[in-house]
Structure 1
Amino acid sequence: MTSNATSIVCAGCGFVVAPAEPYPFRCPNAIPGDDVDHVLVRELDPAHVGFPQGDEANPYVRYRELFHAYHFGLGHGMTDGGFVDLVESLDKAVAAVDGRSFLSTPFLRSDELSERLRFSSEGGVWVKDETGNVAGSHKARHLMGVMLLLLVAEQAGLAPDGERPLAIASCGNAALAAAVVARAADRSLRVFVPTWADPDIRARLDALGADVVVCRRTEGASGDPPYLALRTALEEGAIPFTVQGPDNGMAIEGGETIGYEMVSELARTDVGLDRLVVQVGGGALASSCIRAFEDAALLEARVKLPRIHAVQTLGGYPLRRAYDRVVARMADPTSPADIVEGLTYARAHRSEFMWPWEEEPRSIATGIIDDETYDWAAVVAGMLATDGSPVLVSDETVVEAEAMAHVTSGIPVDPTGAAGMAGLLELVRGGEVGPDERVAVLFTGSKRLSGRGGTRR
């Protein structure tokens, strides 16, 4: 027996996952060469669930009624208290490994930053600070959600493969997050990293017990080497413990806790957000935030969906390229019918819109220089539906944004984590954002003491 509150559907082909499936990660219809953008997404039924009104500090407890893992557990004999116990037990283990547990992170108007950018008292910049998260970035949010589903399925006796290794491809923050959560759950993890990965990060991964595999770029080969190695590992039976939506759609659900916290705070303070500017590499963070606001609208929370602006650097911008190609197919990009038609075509003809960047992407914001934006369709859809747009920034603007963030907020954000702020600088200087508007940015990764990170060499 399963709950009717959630269902898992492929956004590309419409496949509906069987309710009892313990691993609803990758669409089974995804086969090489079909050119469909298969991504499994969790749908909510507003007849069976509402937007949570609690105030628990742990987001996986506070928003549990929105998680597929929660309803999957209830449908297989787990109680509400049992799920809460599971979350708290895993969270305690995470804290023992990392020194930090999962807590709601700050989301506040930055008065000094708002003044620096000449916003009025009616408008301003709201900062979501994820630098104090587990493993120092937002990435662990995605993976905690995946691990909870794995543990619920195992407790239900539906996932006997507890010894199957987990696998991820990452250049830094996602790998650290995966290693922390996997160690807390006593699971083996293989991490595929690029040759230029920070030596201190690799040392920390070793200390956490991860099996680190360095992947070299082959001349003439297309695509990100660690991701290509990950795909091979998944084909050999590894479980995708990754933040790329096409390989594990449930990673988006865990990341939605960031957006849910913004929704809760906006509703509590009766603030209407006009724009959300978010940095994009593989696209999971932006996809999660968009989905969270969409869920809130579906469940009639007291917030509006802000305009979405997705930020990439001039060193590589596959999302901007895909957005431009989708828009080029539309007679009227503001028409809901044209948006639906354009996205339907794009999802069925992925190779016309998303493919690996022709040259190795280079930027000081190393966490967002993915060869592809894996969750591109959801992010393009979010921008089109809200009259938003992509934003391109130079490394010089990223450095400026990082310094401004440090001076005005004291938050030790790194270049990747400040890239959304760089996008806001571009929008303000281009006259696209008015002084009375309320804009949110996310500081997503903390600056590490080694200082070895930087532009790919």
Structure 2
Amino acid sequence: MELVCIECGKARRPENLFPMSCECGGLLEVRHDFRRADAEKLRALFDSRLALRTGPYASGVWRYKELIDPEVEEAHIVTRGEGNTGLYDCAPAARYAGVRKVWLKAQGENPSGSFKDNGMTVAVSRGAAAGFRTLACASTGNTASSLAMYAAWAGLRCLVLVPPGGVADGKLAQTIAYGAEVYGIEGGYDIGVRLLNRYGEELGFYVCNSFNPFRIEGQKSIVIEAAHQLGWSLPDWIVLPGGALSNASALGKGLLEMKAIGLIDRVPRIAVVQAEGASPFHRMIASGGGELVPEPEPRTAASAIRIGNPPSWRKAARVLRECNGVTCAVSDGEIMAAKRVIDRSGIGCEPAAAAGLAGLKMLAEGGTIGRDETALVVLTGHLLKDADAIRMPVPGPALEPLAPDELLARLASVR
């Protein structure tokens, strides 16, 4: 196991955490040696851990430790029992998108309410093992609340940079409640990420944004767990929202590694869905370009993917090539329409999470995804992460206080 630059190929030991990007400016990724991996033994081992209720292997991330981080010592694992999220065969979502079957992977069921926990448990475990006392990140909300939760659990200091006015109240409240030090950053998320990448080591911070390669390893567990839940046979498509693009990078990496080991016999195609007002990656792919042009003022109601300069775009572009993937961009109206379908199915999600279903519908209507195909849509965050986005469908007067007799009469009239 080693850290390798995706641009120049330079490698180093994973204990050498800094700098978190290569001298050439390229991102680092964890490379495993799976040449001796035995798929049948791994399946049996993972099955045996399903019965555990306590300890690190009860986690839906660390259950797959051999594929995630085989070298970190168990004593250094910082876990809140993350993962173990539901995978739901959702007929209303399939009807809405116009495909044969849709599975919803509800990452909002994680301890802090988003998919960030899958990656954060690994990043924080590595930081704690290296002796860091201060963890840091820039965030549009979910990364901040996840990191703050793990820092509190591990007894570590947490420092968070957020775009003022650009974070949903629920996410900010979580972050503050867990005890993080929160600072506004002029210029927003993109500037915060660049600042921490440049000065984190100098300031003595262990930075847990998505350029931290161990975040990506943890997030692989989303698709590994889904494969396990489905008997190691995945749907035709994996569809997910695209913000910082760490999830696209991670899930693609996990799929390719499982195929190389023999845990799955084919690699599903990947579809990355961005919001129209924050879609620099989609624009690059659609135009056939090789360099991402940042969006200086990203705009979308889906705050979790309101990112104009995604740090993991090069990794995501490689994943699309290797997984025969596609991209699309959907409007805020399409996102909110898809959200209503997911909410009223009894599962629910924040707006950014609904972008996946909105994109699936668009791609099916355009013929990219066949009507008889199946898809797994990753719901990245919980319904209450951005409760302000919910609009009550009843008029204001219906919410006025009613006397008991009047209320009974009203109820009787609508039976």
Q: Distance in 2 between matches of 1:449 and 1:203?
A: 10
Shift of 1:404: 0.9
Cα deviation code 1:312-339 (max 9, x no counterpart): 11102111233245x35xxxxxxxxxxx
Q: Which amino acid aligns with 2:295?
A: W
Q: Which amino acid aligns with 2:219?
A: G
> Could you report, residue by residue, the CA deviation over 1:265-319 in whole angstroms, capped at 9, with x for unpaired residues?
3334xx4521111111000111111111011011111341111111111102111
2:9 and 2:106 map into 1 onto residues whose CA distance is 36
Instruction: Give structure 1 stretches of 5+ with no counterpart.
Output: 1-5, 31-35, 74-82, 95-100, 154-158, 329-345, 347-352
Match of 1:45 in 2: 33
Specify the alignment match of 1:357 in structure 2.
295
Contact 2:107 2:115 in 1 (8 A): yes
Q: Which of 152, 162, 168 is matched with 2:132 structurally?
A: 162
Q: 1:310 to 1:213 in 2, by over 3 A?
A: same
- The aligned residue for residue 226 of structure 2 is 262
Contact 1:106 1:128 in 2 (8 A): yes
Separation in structure 2 between the aligned mates of residue 439 and residue 298 of structure 1, nearest angstrom: 22
TM-score between both structures, scaled by the size of structure 1: 0.76
Q: Is the 8 A contact 1:25 1:240 kept in 2?
A: no
Distance 2:191 2:72 in 1: 35
Give distance in 2, aligned partners of 1:143 and 1:417: 18
Query: Which amino acid is 1:370 matched to?
Result: I
Task: Check if 1:441 corresponds to 2:403.
Answer: no
- Given the superposition, is the C-alpha separation of residues 238 and 285 from structure 1 closer, same or farther in structure 2, using an over 3 Å criterion? farther
**Distance in 1 of aligned mates of 2:97 and 2:170:** 35
Is 1:382 matched up with 2:377? no
Name the aligned partner's letter for residue 135 of structure 2. L
Amino acid at match of 1:40: L
What SS does the aligned partner of 1:131 have?
helix
- Distance in 1 (CA, whole Å) between partners of 2:105 and 2:285 is 26
The residue aligned with 2:193 is 227
- Which residue type is aligned with residue 29 of structure 1? E
- 1:243 shift after superposition: 3.1
Shift of 1:25: 6.5
Listed one character per residue, the Cα deviations across residues 208-228 of structure 1 (whole Å, up to 9, x for unaligned) are 11111111239xxxx833324
Which one-letter code corresponds to 1:404 in the other structure? V
Q: Distance in 2 between matches of 1:72 and 1:181?
A: 17
Aligned pairs (5 A) from 1:228-247: 228-231=194-197, 233-245=199-211
C-alpha contact (below 8 Å) 2:168/2:385 kept by paired residues: no
Q: Which residue of 1 aligns with 2:406?
A: none
2:173 corresponds in structure 1 to 203
Q: CA deviation at 1:26?
A: 1.2
* Alignment check: 8 A CA contact 1:167 1:233 kept: no
> Which of 210, 225, 238 is the equivalent residue of 1:276?
238
Q: Which letter does structure 1 place at the counterpart of 2:7?
A: G
1:332-343 matches, cutoff 5 A: none
Identity percentage of aligned residues: 26
Aligned length: 376
CA contact (8 A) 2:97 2:360 kept: no
Q: Is the 8 A contact 1:272 1:303 kept in 2?
A: no
SS of match in other structure, 1:273: coil
The residue type equivalent to 2:88 in the other structure is L
Partner of 1:26 in structure 2?
20
1:114 deviation in Å?
Answer: 2.1
2:380 maps to 1:403: no
CA contact (8 A) 2:136 2:206 kept: yes
Equivalent residues in 2 for 1:265-344 (5 A)?
Answer: 265-268=229-232, 271-324=233-286, 327=288
Name the counterpart of 1:413. 349
Amino acid in the other structure paired with 1:18 = R
Shift of 1:393: 0.3
Tell me by how many angstroms 1:149 deviates.
1.9
Distance 1:191 1:453, change over 3 A: farther
Instruction: Please say if 1:373 is aligned against 2:353.
Output: no
SS of equivalent to 1:102: coil
Distance 1:225 1:104, change over 3 A: same
Cα RMSD after superposing both structures: 2.3
Q: Deviations over 1:363-414 (max 9, x none)?
A: 011111112121112212222233321111011100100001112x311201
Query: Contact 1:278 / 1:420 at 8 angstroms: preserved in 2?
Result: yes
Unaligned runs of 5+ in 2: 50-57, 391-415
Query: Contact (CA 8 Å) 1:131, 1:137: kept in 2 or not?
Result: yes
Q: 1:235 to 1:402 in 2, by over 3 A?
A: same
- The alpha carbon displacement at 1:229 in A equals 3.9
Q: TM-score, normalised by structure 2?
A: 0.84
Distance (Å, rounded) in 2 between the aligned partners of 1:453 and 1:173: 16
CA distance in 2, matches of 1:384, 1:27: 22
Structure 2 letter corresponding to 1:257: S
* SS of structure 1 residue aligned to 2:183: strand
AA at the equivalent of 2:375:
V
Decide which moves more: 445-454 or 251-260: 445-454
Secondary structure (helix, strand or coil) at the match of 1:136 reads coil
Residue of structure 1 equivalent to 2:216: 252
